[in-house]
């Protein structure tokens, strides 16, 4: 009796192992999403200048009022991301509710963003294995108080008019502090190292 149960357990274990090997052989390992410090260091490092420069541009722009900050954002945000997209590295930010339709993301980023949207408790950055020996990194962008002036429920009328004019397809209002605004993303050749290392 005991022996039978033991056999069954061993058979079960074999089955699980076999299934796993078949999956690996077929190349269909579960979507390789990694979290944790070691895995995410490279992506975080590549994103740092984008985040820093955007923040600086926003702060500098806001000092002369939100209307001015919009122009700064409009001209500088895409230019900053472009300037950092070199050597097989592509970098950007996106949202499920875009202000600028040009900020649309690659498909793998959209998939990760959907998974963040589906799980409010999951705000950890992730590393994703991509085709052609490339790797991707995503990091959630959460709405802060500072963002509400331009992404909140009610905007100042002159601001709203300005945004309407610059971004006729704007979907990026109605956010509250703590909401997921979108993600930063970067993709790069696996194993590549930045000049800072
Ligand atoms: C002064 C107004 C203003 C403020 C304040 C502001 N934004 Fe924006 N935001 C914009 C504009 C304008 C764009 C479009 C930029 C472009 O053309 O790429 C934008 C675009 C974005 C995008 C890119 C995706 C998209 O919708 O096109 C994200 C993400 C974003 N903002 C997040 C934030 C966050 C987070 C904050 C607060 C830390 C913030 N913004 C504060 C005006 C603002």
| Cβ-based burial of 197 (10 A; exposed 0-12, middle 13-18, buried ≥19) | exposed
CA distance 61 to 72: 6
Identify the residue whose tokens are 């930010």.
Answer: 93
Residue with CA closest to ligand 1 atom 32: 181
Q: pLDDT value at position 29? A: 43
Compute the C-alpha angle 57/58/62, nearest 5°. 120
Q: pLDDT value at position 75? A: 83
Nearest by Cα to 65 from 53, 73, 77, 54: 73
Average of per-residue pLDDT values in the chain: 85
Beta-carbon contacts of residue 197 (< 8 Å; ≥ 6 apart): 45
- pLDDT, tens digit, 9 for 90 and up, residues 65-74: 888 888 878 8
Residue with CA closest to ligand 1 atom 24: 94
Residue with CA closest to ligand 1 atom 33: 147
Residue with CA closest to ligand 1 atom 2: 150
**Helix intervals (H) in the chain:** 2-25, 37-63, 66-84, 107-118, 148-151, 157-166
Domain spans, the chain: 1-30, 33-189
Pocket test for ligand 1, best of 64, 71, 73 (most atoms within 8 A of CB): 73
pLDDT of 141 strictly over 70: yes
Q: pLDDT value at position 11? A: 67
What dihedral angle (degrees, nearest 10) is formed by the CA atoms of 35, 133, 106, 68?
80
Pocket test for ligand 1, best of 172, 174, 178 (most atoms within 8 A of CB): 172
- pLDDT, tens digit, 9 for 90 and up, residues 183-194: 999 999 987 554
Ligand 1 centre and the CA of 2: distance in Å? 65
pLDDT of 118 strictly over 60: yes
CA distance 171 to 183: 15
Q: Are 143 and 177 in contact (CB under 8 A)?
A: yes
Q: Are 41 and 192 in contact (CB under 8 A)?
A: no
Question: Would you say how long the chain is, in residues?
Answer: 197
Q: Which atom of ligand 1 is nearest to the CA of 72?
A: 12
Residue with CA closest to ligand 1 atom 39: 147
Ligand 1 centre and the CA of 95: distance in Å? 10
Cα dihedral 137, 142, 143, 147 sign? negative
- pLDDT, tens digit, 9 for 90 and up, residues 13-49: 666 666 555 544 444 444 567 777 777 889 999 999 9
Nearest by Cα to 140 from 167, 121, 158, 160: 121
Q: pLDDT value at position 17? A: 60
pLDDT of 50 strictly over 70: yes
Q: Are 59 and 156 in contact (CB under 8 A)?
A: no
Cβ of residue 152 lying under 6 Å from some atom of ligand 1: no
């Amino acid at each position: 009796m005991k022996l039978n149960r033991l056999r069954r357990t061993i058979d079960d274990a074999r089955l699980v192992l076999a299934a796993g090997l078949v999956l690996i052989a077929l190349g269909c390992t579960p979507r390789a999403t990694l979290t944790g410090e070691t895995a995410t260091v490279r992506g975080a490092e590549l994103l740092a200048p984008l985040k820093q420069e955007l923040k600086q541009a926003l702060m500098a722009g806001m000092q002369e009022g939100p209307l001015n900050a919009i122009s700064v954002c409009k001209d500088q945000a895409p230019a900053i991301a472009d300037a950092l997209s070199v050597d097989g590295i592509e970098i950007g930010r996106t949202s499920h509710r875009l202000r600028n339709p040009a900020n649309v993301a690659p498909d793998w980023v959209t998939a990760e963003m959907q998974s963040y949207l589906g799980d409010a408790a999951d705000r950890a950055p992730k590393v994703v294995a991509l085709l052609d020996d490339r790797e991707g990194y995503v990091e959630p962008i959460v709405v802060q108080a500072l963002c509400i002036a331009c992404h909140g429920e009610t905007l100042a009328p002159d601001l709203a008019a300005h945004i309407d004019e610059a971004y006729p397809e704007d979907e990026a209002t109605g956010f509250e502090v703590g909401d997921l605004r979108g993600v930063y993303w970067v993709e790069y050749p696996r194993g590549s190292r930045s000049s800072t290392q």
